[in-house]
Amino acid sequence: MGKYAFLMIFLFSVSLLNNAKSDSLSFSYSNFGPGQEFNVGFLGDARAVNGAIQLTRKDETYVGGLTLRQLSVGRVVYIPPVHLWDKTTGKLADFVTEFSFVVDSIGSPIHADGLSFFIIPFGADPSVPKNSSGGYLGLFRPETAFNSYNNQIVAVEFDSFGNEWDPEPVPTAAHVGIDINSLESVKFVDWPINSVPEGSIGKAKISYDSYGKELSVVVSYSGIQPAVVVSVSQTIDLRTVLTEYVRIGFAGATGDSVETHDLLAWSFSSRI
């Protein structure tokens, strides 16, 4: 099933890339329910259920409850190419993506591991990397996770469980981090996921300013008192890391501890 899904995404993507001429892109998905058209591909355990994308698997029990699957990994990718920069002029795109999500422990005091928004070269294999559950967040294989020469990826991770490679203090600090070709974040900020009420909807905004070459992240939880807002940014010339055309998407993973990773809505716009 995984190989078939990748093949279908790959073949469709090639035809789209051949026809890609626009320097701008915009889409908005208010939900992922039946009857809605959304141009995304599902990989690993990811699927659309009840109007949301579940990046990691949760199954209904016979008595109507939910059980969250350990070692679950899933990805969802936007199928058409995104024109990140122009090879002829060298001009970079400005972009902004916003999404709402729920990370819920379903009552467990210890939960893991997190989700991420990622950007990879359009020609790269978007499939779930082997053995990328747990702290690898569905982004990296363990063998290459910290070798920046072996990776081409920019990701914003929403990491709910501290591992030995994560920012100090570990192992308790959940954080939002910016990853460049490595699982070790180059910049991070505390993410108070353990202090917001269960089931709270988070809203994230990730933007890139081509003039200042700044990647910025803002995460907020409204409707609770006091309101929670965290932000982090990093200067990076995306031309030095990624190809002219890229693919965007989300990944999520659980380990021995579990939580939900549900994507409720997603919008993206870019212009060179």
For the chain, domains (ranges, CATH) are 2-271 (2.60.120.200)
Q: Is the dihedral of CA 143, 236, 229, 120 positive or negative?
A: negative
**The dihedral sign for the CA sequence 148, 151, 157, 162:** negative
pLDDT computed for residue 248 by the predictor: 99
Share of the chain above pLDDT 70, in %: 89
Q: What is the mean pLDDT of residues 209-223?
A: 96
- pLDDT grade, residue 59 (50/70/90)? confident
Is 70 exceeded by the pLDDT of residue 138?
yes
pLDDT at residue number 10: 52
* Mean pLDDT on 235-251: 99
Strand 214-221 with 202-209, pairing: antiparallel
pLDDT at 18 over 70: no
Torsion (CA) 24, 206, 235, 168 in degrees, nearest 10:
-160
Q: Is the pLDDT of residue 32 over 70?
A: yes
pTM over 0.75: yes
Mean confidence (pLDDT) of the chain: 90
Residue whose C-alpha is closest to residue 79's, from 179, 140, 5: 5
Lowest mean pLDDT among 31-35, 61-65, 162-166, 265-269: 61-65
Q: Please give the structure tokens belonging to residue 262.
A: 């549900």
Question: What residue has token string 């212009």?
Answer: 271
Window from 75-84, 106-115, 131-140, 182-191 with minimum mean pLDDT: 106-115
Burial (CB count within 10 angstroms: exposed 0-12, middle 13-18, buried 19+), residue 129: buried
Residue 173: exposure state from Cβ atoms within 10 A (0-12, 13-18, ≥19)? middle
Secondary structure, 3-state, 170-224 = CCCCCEEEEEECCCCCCEEEECCCCCCCCCCCEEEEEEEECCCCEEEEEEEECCC
Q: pLDDT band for position 158 (50/70/90)? A: very high
Question: φ and ψ at 52, to 5 degrees?
Answer: -130, 160
Residue 14 has φ and ψ, to the nearest 5°, of -60, -45
For 64-122, the pLDDT digits (tens) are: 677 899 999 999 999 999 999 999 999 999 999 999 999 998 888 888 999 999 999 99
The average pLDDT across 234-260 equals 98
Between these two residues, 129 and 6, which has the higher pLDDT value?
129
Q: What is the pLDDT of residue 169?
A: 58
Beta bridge partners of 159: 114, 175
Buried b (16+ CB within 10 A) or exposed e, 75-110: bbbbbbbbbbbeeeeeebbebbbbbbbbbbbeeeee
Q: What is the mean pLDDT of residues 32-47?
A: 92
Whether residue 1 is predicted with pLDDT greater than 50 in this model: the reply is no
Kind plus residue range of the DSSP H or E element containing 157: strand 154-159
CA–CA dist 100, 71 (Å, integer) = 24
Asked whether the predicted pLDDT for residue 14 surpasses 80, the reply is no
Q: What percent of the chain has pLDDT over 90?
A: 74
Three-state DSSP state, 241:
coil
Output the pLDDT for position 182: 98
First-to-last alpha carbon distance for the chain, in angstroms, is 36
Lowest mean pLDDT among 64-78, 119-133, 203-217, 236-250: 64-78
pLDDT at residue 6 in the model: 52
